[in-house]
Amino acid sequence: MLTDRHILLVIGGGIAAFKSLDLIRRLRERGARVTPVLTRAGEEFVTPLSVSALAASKVYRDLFDLTDEAEMGHIELSRAADLVLVCPATANLMGRMAAGLADDLATTLLMATDTPVMIVPAMNVRMWQHAATQRNLATLRADGIAVVGPVEGPMACGEFGPGRLAEVADILAAVEAHFADGPLAGRHVLVTSGPTHEPIDPVRYIANRSSGAQGTAIAAALRDLGARVSFVTGPASVAPPEGVEVIRVETARQMHEAAMAALPADAAVMAAAVADWHVANAADRKVKKTRDGTPALDFAENPDILHAISHAEARPRLVVGFAAETDDVTAHATAKRDRKGCDWIVANDVSPATGIMGGAENAVTLITDAGAEDWPRLSKAETARRLAARIAEALA
């Protein structure tokens, strides 16, 4: 899939830069041609010689190198590639990109290019969660830049959390998905998935039995048709698919914020089982059992994510909601479609006898302007493929 594809790889500064060496090797194994651009900070972690040896290419480093400018000016360099891949994308580099700065070779290339750009963020968890980084991320997404990761895990600094560079296999999958020749190539689809956890105190929460399997299968099916997928997932019991942008959240309010930040998108598939309420008086320390009786929980309504996406200023062309019902499935789902303002509703019966909630199969009814269409009981993967095909038809 990557044979003869030209990747301009910008290597930012950070300990994760060492993974760029493996990434170069694997890109070339798949037939890609890699031209590396090494930032000054990146040189602190990997050497120009090692990068050049693995890429079998000259390493570009200096905006004002007269020889480089004579051989291939930075404008030509920025536009000669099929994809500009920034890995790792540090908080500093993301901030400069979002601000439109062009103060070194890397940022000047990124400003001058009309080639698609994909970034792979990596940084300390606190830096990733900082409001400034999240603002910059939202700006870059709005500018059409694809994002891969970061993922949650242990970091070189000794902390644990989101901010770790995505695995090389996942980066490769995202690059291959970018070049996939499918009916959704060039389309951006938002998918929400999994349950939400609403805290009672630091050790207890209210949740539901959703495994996230259906949303995960939908994201994979859309990816396989060539879409760029932003996958906003609650704490699901299944692993997210490779080759999509994974955005992990815990609560409904976090999911609402992440879903809105992922816009604009061509389509949105809201498959998450979102809690309707959260505990308004959640405690900041563990609630102890006392002789005073059972503690009272005060509930407040969560944001209506499906309604918000359906009425957003940057509304996707197609918004697909889900309705998990235990009785009068079609009637309740049809009413939900009208109430929320979405285009389609995928309804299913999750009463205990069906075994669907948390199970491996699904039996859905697709509700559109044309009416209700019953699908047979299928694996969740096959249900996802059918839905992805219908989405591709709708966006064609």
Residue 379's pLDDT is: 87
- Tell me whether residue 304 is annotated as binding: yes
- Dist CA 21 CA 168 (whole Å): 10
Residue 162's pLDDT is: 83
Choose among 231, 262, 88, 221: nearest CA to 167.
Answer: 88
- Dist CA 255 CA 198 (whole Å): 12
- Tell me whether residue 82 is annotated as binding: no
- Dist CA 193 CA 103 (whole Å): 40
- List the catalytic residue out of 56, 80, 132, 157: 157
1-179 and 182-396: identical CATH topology? yes
- Tally DSSP H helices, then E strands, for the chain: 14, 21
Per residue in 166-214, pLDDT (tens digit) is 889 889 988 888 887 789 988 999 999 999 999 999 999 999 888 899 9
Q: Angle 19-29/48-55 helices, nearest 10 degrees?
A: 10
- Dist CA 318 CA 307 (whole Å): 13
157 is catalytic: yes
277-279 and 299-301 beta bridge pairing: antiparallel
Domain boundaries, the chain: 1-179, 182-396
On the 0-12 / 13-18 / 19+ scale of CB atoms within 10 A, 23 is buried
- Residue pair 210/273 in contact (Cβ under 8 Å)? The answer is yes
Q: Is domain 1-179 annotated with CATH 3.40.50.300?
A: no
- Tell me whether residue 103 is annotated as binding: no
Look at residue 160 and give its three-state secondary structure. strand
Count of C-beta atoms within a 10 Å radius of residue 149? 26
- pLDDT (tens, 9 = 90+) of the chain, 396 residues, equals 788 899 999 999 989 999 999 999 999 999 999 999 999 999 999 999 999 999 999 999 888 776 666 566 667 787 888 999 999 999 999 999 999 999 999 999 999 888 999 999 999 999 999 999 999 998 998 888 988 888 888 877 778 878 889 889 889 988 888 887 789 988 999 999 999 999 999 999 999 888 899 999 999 999 989 898 999 999 998 988 887 888 999 999 999 999 999 999 999 999 999 999 999 999 999 988 887 788 889 999 999 999 999 999 999 999 999 998 878 888 999 999 999 999 999 998 877 666 666 567 788 899 999 999 998 888 888 899 999 999 999 998
Residue 390's pLDDT is: 95
Residue 51's pLDDT is: 95
- Give the chain's radius of gyration (CA, Å): 23
Per residue in 202-261, pLDDT (tens digit) is 999 999 888 899 999 999 999 989 898 999 999 998 988 887 888 999 999 999 999 999
CATH H-level, domain 182-396: superfamily: CoaB-like (3.40.50.10300)
Report how far apart, in Å, the C-alpha atoms of 65 and of each of 61, 62, 68, 73 are: 8, 5, 5, 10
Query: Tokens 């070779």 belong to which residue?
Result: 105
Residue 350's pLDDT is: 73
- Dist CA 174 CA 188 (whole Å): 13
> Which residues have CB under 8 Å from 116's CB, separation 6+?
82, 83, 84, 144, 146, 178
- Dist CA 368 CA 388 (whole Å): 15
- Tell me whether residue 286 is annotated as binding: yes
